[in-house]
């Protein structure tokens, strides 16, 4: 019914006081949804989904929530984003502090190891 991009922006939906609420993660999704509300209402008059058979839906509303996503979604998004290492580790360490020098050297070693893989 909706474009896949709009579907991804729907966080969840629920029914309260005979109103079907859709919660969006972005205002663009809500705006696109608002343009389709009349089509959804007319479709629901002809065919009510099995999940909604116990409730009479009189209205449909949508709003945008700005609450952050759950940790699982954030972690999954981070895992999907992976960039190849562009650094080569060819830099001179000019720090005189021993602790800081060893820390930078360990970072340099990790970068060089990733370049070999």
| CA–CA dist 82, 84 (Å, integer) | 7
Q: What is the structure's pLDDT at 13? A: 86
Q: Which of 33-37, 59-63, 66-70, 100-104 has the lowest mean pLDDT?
A: 66-70
Q: Check whether 48 has a pLDDT greater than 90.
A: no
Residue with token string 């409730």: 55
- Decide if 95 contacts 101 (C-beta within 8 A): yes
SS3 29: helix
Domain boundaries of the chain, sorted by first residue: 4-68, 85-116
The pTM of this model reads 0.51
Q: How far apart are the first and last CA of the chain?
A: 45
* pLDDT: which is higher, 51 or 65: 65
**Confidence grade of residue 2 (pLDDT, cut at 50, 70, 90):** low
- What is the average pLDDT value for the chain, to the nearest integer? 80
Q: What integer is the mean pLDDT of 53-70?
A: 79
Query: What would the pLDDT profile of 95-105 be if each residue is shown by its tens digit?
Result: 999 999 999 99
| CA–CA dist 109, 67 (Å, integer) | 40
Phi and psi of 56, rounded to 5°?
A: -95, 120
SS3 102: helix
Q: What is the DSSP letter of 68?
A: P
Q: Comparing C-alpha atoms, which of 6, 116, 1, 5 is closest to residue 62?
A: 6
Query: What would the pLDDT profile of 24-39 be if each residue is shown by its tens digit?
Result: 988 888 888 888 888 8
Q: What integer is the mean pLDDT of 10-19?
A: 87
User: Which ranges in the chain belong to alpha helices (H)?
Assistant: 4-9, 27-34, 37-46, 71-80, 98-116
């Amino acid at each position: 019914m909706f474009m896949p991009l709009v579907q991804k922006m729907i966080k969840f939906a629920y029914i309260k006081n005979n109103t079907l609420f859709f919660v969006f993660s972005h205002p663009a999704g809500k705006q696109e949804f608002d343009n389709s509300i009349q089509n959804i209402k007319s479709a629901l008059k002809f065919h009510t989904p099995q999940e909604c058979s116990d409730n009479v839906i009189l209205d449909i509303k949508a709003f945008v929530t700005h609450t952050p996503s759950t940790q699982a979604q954030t972690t999954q998004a981070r895992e999907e984003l992976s960039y190849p290492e562009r650094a080569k580790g060819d830099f001179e360490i000019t720090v005189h502090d021993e602790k800081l020098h060893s820390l930078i050297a360990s970072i340099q070693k990790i970068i060089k190891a990733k370049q070999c893989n």
